[in-house]
Amino acid sequence: MTDDELPDLRASDADRERVAEILRDALAEGRLDMEEFEERLDATYKARTYGELTPITRDLPTGPGPAVNLFKEPVVDGSWASRITGGEGSSTWGVAVMAGFQRKGRWTVPKRFTGFAFWGGGEIDLREANFADREVEITCVAIMGGIEVIVPPGVEVVVRGLGIMGGFDERAHEEPDDPHAPRVIVTGLALMGGVEVYRKLPRAERQRLKEERRLERLERKNARRELGSSRHDPLDLHDVHRDAMDQVREAMEEHRELRRERRERRRYED
């Protein structure tokens, strides 16, 4: 297969790093001079597709394997590799003065984003966002106002903000960081206001988990029917109680989510 016949697949950060390592070896072995090395390295980190990466090492030995796997399957949509897209962000700032701003849904987070809220509120939701870089920085300034930064589980978050007569906080979490996920640095100032960073599952993922729990309850009920368990059997009563508690917890979660969405709508409609 020739280069012209290769699919125009997006290259990952790992692909670019493999090419950069080959260039460093070539420099150390005298195959490239410093000027050539710098030119090719710059082209490597600017490359977005395999077609742009391949010519960079075409005249260099690549060791036991190719610099880039030109035949690997396309990245599954929704994975972290497919969401770190490079390029420019779709929005670089948001301002709320006695009002509100939102950045949510499918948008591209730039390398640097600034949010400002004065007597107002802002919401920066990264759960369904793409990222222009593996590390992004969000600067939040809240003066007698508030800004929420919502990230999906797995994202590494570093909070470096300052609160003066206000709060600049990150909610505690137990989920481990995903090594393939982007890194989000949140900095800024909260003066008589608040900036809060917390993790939350995307709506689609919450719905999927809810459906899984519903199916598990249904399977338990079907299993009890097949076994012909007595209604007075202690194990059966325990399962019935567990099902009832699961339903109560789901109802409470849905109620809290509904109240939060209503508050958000009122905030941004005012």
Query: CA 81, 83, 85, 88 torsion: positive or negative?
Result: negative
Q: Enter the tokens of residue 188.
A: 């800024």
Question: CA-CA distance, 236 to 169, in Å (whole number)?
Answer: 45
Element (H, E) at 244: helix 234-269
| pLDDT average, residue stretch 235-256 | 64
Question: Quick one: pLDDT band at residue 237, thresholds 50, 70, 90?
Answer: low
Q: How crowded is residue 191: how many other Cβ atoms within 10 Å of its Cβ?
A: 16
Question: CA-CA distance, 188 to 138, in Å (whole number)?
Answer: 8
Whole-number pLDDT of residue 248: 66
Among residues 87, 86, 75, which one has the least CA distance to residue 7?
A: 75
Q: How crowded is residue 256: how many other Cβ atoms within 10 Å of its Cβ?
A: 10
Question: CA-CA distance, 185 to 3, in Å (whole number)?
Answer: 39
- Let me know: does 174 contact 200? Beta carbons within 8 Å: no
Whole-number pLDDT of residue 239: 60
The DSSP secondary-structure symbol of 62 reads -
Question: CA-CA distance, 91 to 236, in Å (whole number)?
Answer: 55
Whole-number pLDDT of residue 227: 65
Element (H, E) at 5: none
Question: Quick one: pLDDT band at residue 186, thresholds 50, 70, 90?
Answer: very high
Residue in this structure with the two tokens 């709508």, named with its chain if needed: 265
Compare 11 and 248 and report the one with higher pLDDT.
11
| CA of residue 105 relative to chain centroid, distance | 12
- pLDDT mean across residues, the chain: 79
Question: CA-CA distance, 89 to 133, in Å (whole number)?
Answer: 9
Question: Quick one: pLDDT band at residue 108, thresholds 50, 70, 90?
Answer: very high
Task: Please determine, for residue 71, whether its predicted confidence score (pLDDT) is greater than 50.
Answer: no
- Let me know: does 190 contact 162? Beta carbons within 8 Å: yes
Lowest pLDDT segment from 68-77, 139-148, 231-240: 68-77
Q: What is the pLDDT of residues 188-226, one digit of tens each?
A: 999 999 999 998 887 776 677 777 777 777 777 666 666
Compare 150 and 79 and report the one with higher pLDDT.
150
